[in-house]
Structure 1
């Protein structure tokens, strides 16, 4: 086995892009030799544009780019190179005189006539090569293109990263040692979007008196031992709880801490026999509102809020 195959076997799927690029480079290099074999003076990278124009229709650069899946600047550069070679020409369109359209020149038409035998032989060679393989590369590429259109590789990696890091999150009950973190986490997020209000300071400076002693709970999210998230359950007169003071450190975003805190809060409320969870928020906090919807909360019209920043109230009915 060659050294490069040893390398790719060792590095594995992390080098998928590099391995595909190497295969592309190999095929492009051989394509140049195949063009020479048939006396066709055409660069491999020109072929998609050339093929579209060989159908005989005048096309704008935008239309070509959309059809072959290339960027507009890339197609524009290829058209300029082909024009210097004398294979294409640009002119005002018959349908729309305000736009420039590209067509094959007489020299380009001559190439189109010469390349037909090459099409036949290359197609047959690829078909025969495919018959010698266990997997159909063409179908596999189509599958991968479809998968990445549905969800990009970046998004898939982000989800795996979030899943892995979320396993390092531990939800624990508030203890006096968490007092500074509980206040700092909330002050940071509130100050980022709004301003601190008197009701905030009461609960943050005296969590035991204003939350815990009144039958409420405070949960802390630890990541690698550090308190990076928190939320409170404030006891309500009807036996339910208000989900409040939820905050996650900016550097801990993307670790599912908010989601895990929400789930833990729901379970705590259920264990306490609460029939519902209530919360107040603001619609500018779109990620938070999306999280609440995902947890099952729905918009309601409740009593006036003591907070100026509140413009939405939500509720989750809890089955016990």
Structure 2
């Protein structure tokens, strides 16, 4: 086990597969020892049918949590061995019902001694260990049903990469990035409009001098995202969250989330009670982000943008 001690937990799949292969190999020898003509992979199907009920392939697959094609293949293999009898379901001729044949039931009688000895052997192994493998497997299965290992790895990747993101206040040196990043995403989905040019060509005059602010997300000192807070002359809203753009090269690194959180925090420090934004439902990731931040859809208002088809607000607590 020196290799696994060296590699560690990242080799969990390889280690579990090796353990499974070892146990499966022993299982084949155990069946042979008791002169039971079964293959290890047939056991779940065999056991379900050994309880005496006729079942459809769909019902078996659901009970043992295997795919329908996998169970169907096993049924075919067991039928060739004469262990199973198949017949059409009287209630639904499209379905087959299966049960153990006489030979299958004879094996079921013979296998009982094997079960007894196998359970004793496994209990012996458990007595020699510090951890209950069976309980641990149950725990892992339950936890992974709530959230898969794949999802957890994606979350950890995003968390790690987001630690490299720094949020900085806008300075004139970032004007090119503010324009380039916004023009990139707008041109990808829509077209640049007059209101875009006003803000992007003169952010100091259009946003900053009127009491707004702009934040820039940096990775290794390279601008990868921008977001603005525009002061509104409106009795219902203090600021508009606008001109949020993230480089495609930085997507998946939590940049949008970090920028939005930072701009909302900035609004809080400025005493804002409500923030407004405009977007388009075509931008599903952005809409999901806004919902996650607590924004809610509001009734349509006059807008300078043709592409706007959804307006949202956030009440700052």
For this structure pair, what is the TM-score category when the shorter chain's length is used for normalisation? Answer: over 0.9
**What displacement does 1:88 show?**
1.7
1:211-290 aligned within 5 A:
211-238=207-234, 240-290=238-288
Structure 2 unmatched ranges of 5 or more: none
Q: CA RMSD in A?
A: 1.7
User: Does structure 2 conserve the Cα–Cα contact (< 8 Å) formed by 1:186 and 1:246?
Assistant: yes
1:317 match: 315
Q: Which moved more, 1:188-197 or 1:20-29?
A: 188-197
Structure 1 unmatched ranges of 5 or more: none
**What displacement does 1:149 show?**
0.3
Q: Which moved more, 1:194-203 or 1:161-170?
A: 194-203
Q: 2: distance between equivalents of 1:235 and 1:58?
A: 71
Q: Which moved more, 1:32-41 or 1:202-211?
A: 202-211
Q: 2: distance between equivalents of 1:110 and 1:134?
A: 39
3-state SS of paired residue (1:274): coil
Output one character per residue of 1:95-126: Cα deviation in whole Å (capped at 9) or x when no partner: 43331122222222221121111111111221
Q: 2: distance between equivalents of 1:82 and 1:303?
A: 68
Which of 301, 304, 308 is the aligned partner of 1:303? 301
Output one character per residue of 1:140-166: Cα deviation in whole Å (capped at 9) or x when no partner: 000000000000001111111111111
**What displacement does 1:250 show?**
1.7
Asked if 1:21 corresponds to 2:17, the answer is: yes
User: Does structure 1 conserve the Cα–Cα contact (< 8 Å) formed by 2:78 and 2:84?
Assistant: yes
Output one character per residue of 1:208-256: Cα deviation in whole Å (capped at 9) or x when no partner: 2222222221111011222111111111125822110011112212211
Q: 2: distance between equivalents of 1:130 and 1:71?
A: 31
Q: Which moved more, 1:58-67 or 1:299-308?
A: 299-308
1:64-79 aligned within 5 A:
64-79=60-75
Asked if 1:56 corresponds to 2:55, the answer is: no
TM-score by length of 1: 0.93
Asked if 1:204 corresponds to 2:213, the answer is: no
User: Does structure 2 conserve the Cα–Cα contact (< 8 Å) formed by 1:58 and 1:93?
Assistant: no
1:39 match: 35
Asked if 1:135 corresponds to 2:136, the answer is: no
Q: 2: distance between equivalents of 1:201 and 1:68?
A: 61
Residues paired across the two proteins, number: 315
**What displacement does 1:302 show?**
5.9
3-state SS of paired residue (2:87): strand
**What displacement does 1:32 show?**
0.7
Output one character per residue of 1:65-110: Cα deviation in whole Å (capped at 9) or x when no partner: 1111111221122122212222123211244333112222222222
3-state SS of paired residue (1:309): coil
1:298/1:97 Cα in 2 relative to 1: closer, same or farther (>3 Å)? closer
3-state SS of paired residue (1:115): helix
Q: 2: distance between equivalents of 1:66 and 1:187?
A: 51
Q: 1: distance between equivalents of 2:186 and 2:100?
A: 62
**What displacement does 1:282 show?**
2.2
Q: Which moved more, 1:209-218 or 1:151-160?
A: 209-218
